[in-house]
Structure 1
Amino acid sequence: MRADRFLADAIGSLSRSRVKALMEAGHAFRDGATLTDPSETVRAGARYTLLVPPPVAATPQAQAIPLTILFEDRDLIVLDKPAGLVVHPAPGNPDGTLVNAVLAHAGDDLSGIGGEMRPGIVHRLDKDTSGVMVVAKSERAHRVLSDAFAARDLDRAYLALCWGLPEPLAGEVSAPIGRHPADRKRMAVVERGGKAATTRYAVKRAWGAAAALVECRLLTGRTHQIRVHMAHIGHPLVGDPVYLRRTPAAARLLPAAARDALLAFPRQALHAASLGFNHPVTGQALNFESPLPADMEGLLLLLDGNRA
């Protein structure tokens, strides 16, 4: 067995890539001698030592940003992300993100991931998508949760308000997703070069043929998957700034007040409503739900004929 895999398996709380990086940096020893080759075959009877340095401060800085915490322990945080909050710092959003907020909230409780005292982002929601997210606080939780998301070994449900009434009322969209051939900032259903993607949907409420509240579940995890698939079948999400390309014909079926509100909605009407998974350390089954945010709830009231 490779030395890095042997040490990762023996330790249990560090990923193999993390162990490999530590070995290459000179933190591993065989019988007291420095071992820098992660691929070296383990020797029977030898004594192996791995020194894990204390985590260094993360590059993103802690910022006091209010968070709605649904659950927290030493290994993870489950929170209700508001629309408008970017998850991770990027060139266009260097700060003011969820990562900055968690750094301020968790502080010294972060045990270090990849050698940095930072939260582990195992999945993301688009900036203007609201709802339930889980963030790892320890390296072990980060590794186990990342594997669970990659294997889809969890339960996630989204609520989306779309234009028109999907037919059938429940179904499955299986269409490969990749970069749009003419606009690299957008995703699209592409037959050549796209990655397999499957979304299951079920209509929960409908307002004639004008609009529908749809529950979506992901069998894969592609960028903008729900938004792309719903637009692909002719039912783009209300307010989607990228995949709603023109005023939908279904808008004519609504009273003026509801129509104007839906057309003016400033974000994609998409909400991560629930998330269920097994705790990465204890194995306990955890399930969390988030109610529709006020802006989406206001649209439903208008569609019902009530004042928002």
Structure 2
Amino acid sequence: MATLELGAQGSNSELWRELSSALSTHLEDTRTQCLTSNAASEEELVIDVTEALWAFNHAGHVDEGLQTLANAVLHGLGSAADSRLHDSGSSAVSSLQELYVSSAGEEPLRPEIVLELRDRLVCMKPPGWAVYLKEDDPEAQGMAPLLQLHLQAHLPQRQWPIIHDQDQHFGFLHRLDVPSSGLILVAKTYEAYYDCLLQLSTGTLVREYTVLSHGWVPVGRAEIRRRISAPEGLRSKISPAGKPSRTLLKVLAHAQHGSQALSLLAIRILTGRRHQIRIHLAHIGHASVCDGKYTALETFLGDREWCPRNFLHRHRLAFQDQSGDMREVMSPLPADLRASMRQVDPKDEASRPALLGLRRDCCQLSV
């Protein structure tokens, strides 16, 4: 979409006003008409609107009037989809598959629903679970249990059709890599899904992570802006032809594992490209610990001796609920990563409080 590129380039204010006026006119026409019942057309409109609002927000030309209008249109589309599809699906309820066991023959950790509202929920994804299945995604294949099926067992199709709708990503607003852990936001209705997409586009939805990386990241390093190309089935990479991507970070502590230098980071992403944190950190020479994709094999094998998986945990989500009130959900560092942290020593006294505190609480990034 043209506005996506304009957002990356930061075009002049006059052009943005013209774009805002044109999009507002289009949305007004959509709102005054009978909202289309063509699912493909609805999905295309939702994508166009959310991408346009992301571009406005990214370029620093926030138009509150346009956001209010877009919110009304998307809520209307979502409400219409809920009315049309509710109770029209199969009565069959998916159940968790017995084959979902670890390679060692033991049951994996189970996901936990940590907050459930009327139209959306937050789930804690354990390591070793895929979020949902895509045919062309090799990370979601094989024996990895699916969070998708776990929620489908909890939310039957006749009552919650979006949880069974592949075209809308089964209600998931974002993903986490199979080895990673953390909080996942899921919409239980189409109206909530479109609302959360709007929050993603305007920066209202906050995602923060705890990461242990290689090397001592300079304390003054607060942001990474590099375009990311993420072709299906291939590794993500930094590329001038990629999509604009922005990562905020805060150095919480410098640490050591033997002679190995490490940094404890709190990270917030303002875009959601595949493997964004991992590729951005690797690009600046501070790859996350135990990252099998973006570090040398020798480094990865050395990390595996004391850390069981990629050291990346989404510890905080903040978003607006159906009433517009902000909700915040926190998740402490899982036991396996806390065990790894017990093998890490602070570089200096200034780093000691953050390292010790991490074993009790999660880290927060204030921007």
- TM over 0.5, shorter chain: yes
Residue 211 (str. 1) matches residue 262 (str. 2): yes
- Alignment pair present for 1:57 and 2:101: no
CA distance in 1, matches of 2:320, 2:126: 24
- CA shift, 1:184, in A, is 6.1
Q: Which residue of 1 aligns with 2:208?
A: 157
Q: Aligned match of 1:112 in 161, 170, 177?
A: 161
Shift of 1:179: 4.0
Among 199, 217, 225, the alignment partner of 1:174 is 225
Instruction: Give the letter aligned to residue 218 of structure 1.
Output: I
Q: 1:149 to 1:260 in 2, by over 3 A?
A: same
Instruction: Pick the structure with greater CA Rg.
Output: 1
Name which of 265, 270, 293 aligns with 2:307. Answer: 265
The equivalences for 1:202-281 within 5 A come to: 202-207=250-255, 210-248=261-299, 263=305, 265-279=307-321, 281=322
Partner of 1:113, secondary structure, is helix
Deviation at 1:263, TM superposition (A): 4.8
1:68-120 deviation digits (Å, cap 9, x = unpaired): 11111221111111011101123354683111000111236843239959941
Q: How many angstroms apart in 1 are the aligned matches of 2:116 and 2:212?
A: 30
Q: Which residue of 2 aligns with 1:32?
A: none
C-alpha spacing 1:137/1:174, structure 2 compared with 1 (3 Å): same
SS at match of 1:57: coil
| TM-score, with structure 1 as normaliser | 0.73
Q: Which amino acid aligns with 1:70?
A: V
Deviations 1:179-231, CA, capped at 9 Å, x for gaps: 48xx961111112x111111111111211571111111112111111000000
Q: Which residues in structure 2 correspond to 1:69-80 (within 5 Å)?
A: 69-80=113-124
Q: Does structure 2 conserve the Cα–Cα contact (< 8 Å) formed by 1:179 and 1:186?
A: yes
Partner in structure 2 of residue 17 of structure 1: 42
Deviations 1:146-191 (A, max 9, x none): 22123322222111110111124432111111148xx961111112
- Answer yes or no: is the 8 Å Cα contact 1:75–1:138 preserved in 2: yes
- Whether the 8 Å CA contact 1:111–1:139 is kept in 2: the answer is no
Offset of residue 124 of structure 1? 1.1
CA change 1:225–1:3 in 2 (3 A) is: closer
What are the ranges of 5 or more consecutive residues in structure 1 without an aligned counterpart? 21-48, 252-258
**CA displacement at 1:303 relative to structure 2:** 0.6
Quick check: 1:136 aligned with 2:187?
yes
Query: Residue 84 of structure 1 aligns to a residue in which SS?
Result: coil
Alignment of 1:19-34 (within 5 A): none
1:283 aligns with 2:324: yes
- Judged with a 3 Å threshold, the aligned counterparts in structure 2 of structure 1 residues 174 and 133 are, in CA distance, closer, same or farther, namely same
Amino acid at match of 1:104: A
The reply on whether 1:294 has 2:335 as its aligned counterpart is yes
Residues 163, 171 of structure 2: 8 Å contact kept:
no
User: Which structure 2 residue ranges, 5 or more long, are not aligned?
Assistant: 1-27, 46-79, 101-109, 347-354, 360-367
Task: Tell whether the 8 Å contact from 2:128 to 2:145 is kept in structure 1 after alignment.
Answer: no
Residue identity in the other structure for 1:73: L
Relative distance call for 1:184 and 1:96 in structure 2 (3 A) is: closer
Secondary structure, aligned partner of 2:338:
helix
* Counterpart code for 1:61: S
The TM-score, its normalising length taken from structure 2, stands at 0.62
**Residue 102 (structure 1) aligns with:** 151
Find the residue that maps to 1:74 and give its secondary structure: coil
For 1:260-297, what per-residue CA distance to the aligned partner results, in whole angstroms no more than 9, with x for missing partners?
A: 56555342110001000001x22121000000111111
The 2-side partners of 1:60 and 1:111 are apart by 11
- DSSP-derived class of the 2:343 partner: helix
**1:86·1:127 contact (CA, 8 Å) conserved in 2?**
yes
Is the CA contact (8 Å cut-off) linking 1:55 and 1:115 kept in structure 2? no
3-state SS of 2:162 partner: coil
Instruction: Please provide the CA RMSD for this pair.
Output: 3.8
Q: Which residue of structure 1 lines up, in the alignment, with residue 75 of structure 2?
A: none
Identity rate, percent:
27
Label 1:110 to 1:213 Cα distance change in 2 as closer, same or farther (>3 A).
farther
3-state DSSP class of the match of 1:213?
strand
Which shows bigger deviation, 168-177 or 68-77?
168-177
